[in-house]
Structure 1
């Protein structure tokens, strides 16, 4: 490469990755964030109601599970709904492309200087828990169909998603408080 540079030539190679530049933060962005926080609060307060489909449940029918976690009711788990709350189902979800939103907010003057470190820590933790909650929810949707799977696996993975969702909500609470959105 040094010899090529001496001749005025460059070695062909991949161009370095470049982050998309920050966009201005709009009131709609902040509304999306505020609504996402309210949605996550609703999800966590109504977890069993939101993550269950009771249309096909049969009353007075006992469902025997192989082992592990039992369903809290006779309804069928619908873990994919968690992915919607985490922004991974549609471009219209409130948390869709949240990483770009953090870049935009960080480039703006919305974060008080004294809270910059807390904000950075909160967005890193939020993204980690958001992503993991969504991954467990996705895994849960296939828990019954996989070899060795069953409804108990669906419930186990859904509980893991719930645990991560709780942590994501806590971090999002820190973020919206720093931004004074609640």
Structure 2
């Protein structure tokens, strides 16, 4: 669309240049009116299109480079993105402090209660795009571009991000399995509790890793 607009603009400019160019009229042997500038103008218009096309190509190339995701990825995390880590960390802490309550769902009016690991997946940013920790790895990737980060803590930071990724994936798997463990062959409530406990272990590991990450991105070098 951009390329078409540029080419059409170039054509319009060329037409205008031709329309307002001075015409020198002469008479040929057959007394027919002939514009002596016609041939020259055609050459001029060809030259204009060549130059306009070159300019358009440079403009498009520059725009493509400037809008490249690689350029955007070299920026440090924003204050809002750092706040997402803080809020997500608090949510995980609350979940662990109230694990049984948060992973128990009861039907209304005193109905049956059952254990449900959905709260664990939500706290880890795995349920909705509005979760604070949703795709938080993209924010972690920006941390190395922070100017005020303590370089002595970078190694700890990278190790913590690896631990986070492992714990996040494992907690997601354990939580997901627990939701269907009761209905699998040989399953039951004991199987649900088994995988739910495994999910809790992984969430604790994730909380520990996120604590290190948060310390790295919020503390300045001494």
**TM-score, structure 2 normalization:** 0.62
Q: Distance in 2 between matches of 1:57 and 1:155?
A: 24
Q: Which runs of 4+ in 1 moved over 4 A?
A: 56-59
Structure-2 residue corresponding to 1:54: 106
Q: 1:147 to 1:56 in 2, by over 3 A?
A: farther
Structure 2 counterpart of 1:86, from 120, 124, 133: 124
2:196 paired with 1:158 = yes
1:75 aligns with 2:127: no
- Give the Cα separation in 2 of the matches to 1:36 and 1:80: 16
CA deviations over 1:101-143 (Å, ceiling 9, x no partner): 1111223335311001000001110111111111110111111
Aligned counterpart for 1:117 among listed residues 116, 132, 155: 155
Work out which structure has the larger RCO, using CA pairs closer than 8 Å and 6 or more positions apart in sequence: 1
Structure 1: gaps spanning 5 or more residues: 1-19, 60-73
Scaled by the length of structure 1, the TM-score of the pair is 0.75
Task: Indicate the structure with greater helix content.
Answer: 2
> Where does the alignment leave 5 or more consecutive residues of structure 2 unmatched?
1-68
Larger radius of gyration: 2
